[in-house]
Amino acid sequence: MPTMAPLNETHDPALRSWVQSAQALGCDFPIQNLPFAVFRRRGTTEAWRGGVAIGDQVLDLAALAQANLIQANEPVAREALKAASQDTLNEFMALGSKHWSALRRALSEMLRLGAVEQYAVQQRCLVAQADAEYRLPARIGDYTDFYTSVHHATNIGKLFRPDNPLLPNYKWVPIGYHGRASSIVISGTNFKRPVGQLMPPGAPQPVVGPSRRLDIELELGVFIGPGNELGSPIDIDEAEGHVFGLCLLNDWSARDIQGWEYQPLGPFLAKNFATSLSPWVVTMEALAPYRLPFTRPAEDPQPLPYLDSTAQRASGVLDIQLEVRLQTPTMREAGLPPTRVAHSNYRHAYWTVAQMVTHHTVGGCNLQAGDLLGTGTLSGPNADEAGALIELTAGGRQAINLPNGEQRTFLEDGDCAVLQGWCEKPGAARVGFGVCEGTVLPSGY
């Protein structure tokens, strides 16, 4: 039985919230979204706890649980609220879609215009997002980064292997590697420029030093919900029942370190120094209006049976718009906002969320609640849809011109990269992901 979240009354684009900012033009967090995070008031020693975004506010789930506003005849929603109000979302993620959906529906009803609970919630349970700070939504036990954009894979392959850009296995198997969970950081965390071995062109031996070809990677993160037992693969039609939701992810990459070290075992120091996550996790249920059919070009190999199904073909793809913006220190000092350098869409990915989960477990690997999968850089088919500077600048040969006259090939110290994502179309409410940002600090090496 396919486990994709169906459309229901919470998706109704006519719904309005008594939180007025939820109706603002371009708002990422209307009542139809209700994403989850872990937060506390900035600058305090308050306990971390779960929260839900509504407009420019955070609904404090711990305060809501204490206020006992969810009715006793909604035991599943009450159980879900108790789990979601803790200092990580792991227990909530592990409960599964029945609990996620029950809590989302209860919160939607409570936040709707005319709700009887409005005054109590408004008085006790709202914190302005401007006053909040965040940490990672879950304890991330494991992190696997995939390579799901055929356009990114081809573009990178042309730079690293001009004679053989796309290896023959790519169109048959969802490629991935095991990343470093300990260096995953929340959006807004700045990090030092990485250091590693570099092989200068024409040099007889490598040198050790700071990366000079530091790059961004425009990705989505996939948080696992209920896990699977060791040795028990997850069927393609059950895969999304094991996915709690998606967030923005920037898997910063040191391309010069990567070019020297990646053969024969793949990424290592080029990737393990920092990976940034946005704080808000958008549930798969909130994304239900933005489903598209999964297709493959007729001339390409079709997925092997364990990666294919009628449900995947009908609606396995998600229509999520993505963009990268860049702000240099000079821009910041002049009060200039980050400028867009790329715009892409998750619909261009070669492999779906369900295919990533199913392939990850086909050999018996046991996923756990809070594990994180990365989609890999989500580049589109056109030049301005590339999700990494190495593609946008043709390997550093063609600089990007910024509005203030500066140029960039790769990131300089002090540069801030900002990722954003949203879903938007006629007949459905906009669903946004907030932002994922980070600033490069000098290495100190």
- Pick out the chain residues at pLDDT < 50: none
434's CB contacts (< 8 A; 6+ apart) are 28, 29, 35, 53, 187, 248, 278, 279, 280, 420
Please provide the size of the chain in residues.
Answer: 445
State the pLDDT at residue 417: 98
What is the predicted pLDDT for the residue at 207?
96
Q: What is the pLDDT of residue 2?
A: 65
Of 149, 145, 142, 147, whose CA–CA distance to 175 is shortest? 147
pTM beyond 0.85, yes or no: yes
Task: Specify whether 343 is catalytic.
Answer: no
**pLDDT of the residue at 157:** 87
Catalytically annotated residue among 152, 242, 359, 360: 152
Query: Domains in the chain, please, with CATH?
Result: 18-135 (2.30.30.230), 143-441 (3.90.850.10)
Distance between CA atoms of residues 435 and 289, nearest Å? 21
Residue 7 to residues 18, 52, 101, 135, Cα–Cα distance (Å): 23, 20, 11, 30
- How many Å apart are CA 21 and CA 13, to the nearest integer? 16
- The per-residue pLDDT for 317 is 98
Is the CB of residue 323 less than 8 Å from the CB of residue 420? yes
Structure tokens at 410: 């790769």
pLDDT for residue 231: 98
